[in-house]
Structure 1
Amino acid sequence: MQRTRWTALLGAAVGTGLLAWFVVRGVEGRGGTMPEVPWLVAVLEAVLAALVLGQAWGVRQYVRGKRPGLSGLRAARTLVLAKAAAWSGSLLLGWYGGQAARALAEVELGTNAARAASAGGAAGGALLLVVAGLLGEWFCRVPPQDDDEDHGPGARAVPEPPPVAP
């Protein structure tokens, strides 16, 4: 599995941010207002980031040989979780960042300051989720092994295939 490129995440965040800007602008152009983002969103994103880092830290200990009882399947699932956290955090960063930017563009309106602050807080939580996902992927990487060295915990040597008779 390839590591997630931060440039791809940045592109996704910027694209989603532009989409959010135009969605909010369209809603406001029709006389509506976007609801204020609950502060609980930022808290939940931070908790998810901590959970991803906690799971990835266990895999890091496994790779270093300090936690031999960890399942290889759990390590693979943690890697997928970290990748999903990075991508979903990137999309959420764009969505909430776009809302915050649009609210800041017209902050002179009474409710836009509160909307900008809550959406900015949610964008900050999403950024934590992106960082946790990228760190989690880094924690789950396995160093390359030489053929003559001992394979770490959970690793198996691949047997040679039997010779084929002509």
Structure 2
Amino acid sequence: MSHHGVRARVAVLVALVVGLLSWLLWQLLTGEGTLVPRPSWLAALLLVGMAAFVGGWAWPVRSYLAGRSTRRLDPLRAARVVVLAQAATLTGAAAGGWYAGQLAVVAGDLSLVANQARLWRLALLVGAGLVLSAVGLVAQSWCRLDPPSDDD
């Protein structure tokens, strides 16, 4: 991480590494006759809920920095929102990669009825992870201050 925070390419790298590890793990486990666990709708709701939470906490910082807020902004709160946004970016990328690995394993054997039933839920979970990561990146950008120029 630099002074720019977590970059999109770092999130993509996290998603790819976690996705590959997830795929390898589930390839090994399903090769022994185990099924990929049935994904929970609650997990998708939690990921999307976390995205809403992060966006909700970043919005007042964005408003303040844009000059649209009359309320004073505590700098410590703004710093915490940036860290929260960075954590959301990485968490969403890792969750998206984890479920993408499972999705790849399930999609590889759709002859099983159980895998057909898991396909859409896993796709939804991959999407929810990507939403969390994207909201984290956007929230982080909302909280960014440009370095002062020589005129300031």
Please say whether Structure 1 and Structure 2 have the same fold, judged by a TM-score greater than 0.5: yes
Q: 2:93 aligns with which of 83, 90, 93?
A: 90
SS at match of 2:113: coil
Q: Distance in 1 between matches of 2:17 and 2:10?
A: 11
Q: Distance in 1 between matches of 2:86 and 2:117?
A: 32
8 Å contact kept, 1:101–1:116:
no
Post-superposition offset of 1:14: 1.0
Post-superposition offset of 1:148: 4.7
**Higher helix proportion:** 2
Q: 1:143 aligns with which of 123, 143, 146?
A: 146
Q: 1:121 aligns with which of 96, 102, 124?
A: 124
Q: 2:8 aligns with which of 6, 21, 26?
A: 6
Post-superposition offset of 1:73: 0.6
Determine what percentage of the aligned residue pairs are the same residue. 37
Alignment length, in residue pairs? 149
The one-letter amino acid paired with 2:59 is W
Post-superposition offset of 1:115: 1.4
| 1:62 aligned residue | 64
TM-score by length of 2: 0.91
Q: Distance in 2 between matches of 1:147 and 1:15?
A: 42
8 Å contact kept, 2:36–2:106:
no
| 1:76 aligned residue | 79
Post-superposition offset of 1:147: 5.2
5+ residue gaps, structure 2 = none
8 Å contact kept, 2:85–2:139:
yes
Q: Distance in 2 between matches of 1:87 and 1:148?
A: 36
Post-superposition offset of 1:58: 0.8
5+ residue gaps, structure 1 = 150-166
Aligned CA RMSD, in angstroms, stands at: 1.4
8 Å contact kept, 1:41–1:122:
yes
Whichever of the two has the greater Rg, that structure is 1
Q: Distance in 2 between matches of 1:114 and 1:40?
A: 16
- Residues 4-55 of structure 1: CA distance to partner in whole angstroms, max 9, x if unpaired? 1211211111111111111111111222222111011111111111111111
Report which stretch shifted further, 65-74 or 31-40. Answer: 65-74
Report which stretch shifted further, 2-11 or 71-80. Answer: 2-11
Higher RCO by CA contacts (8 Å cutoff, separation 6 or greater): 2
Q: Distance in 1 between matches of 2:142 and 2:120?
A: 33
The one-letter amino acid paired with 1:25 is Q
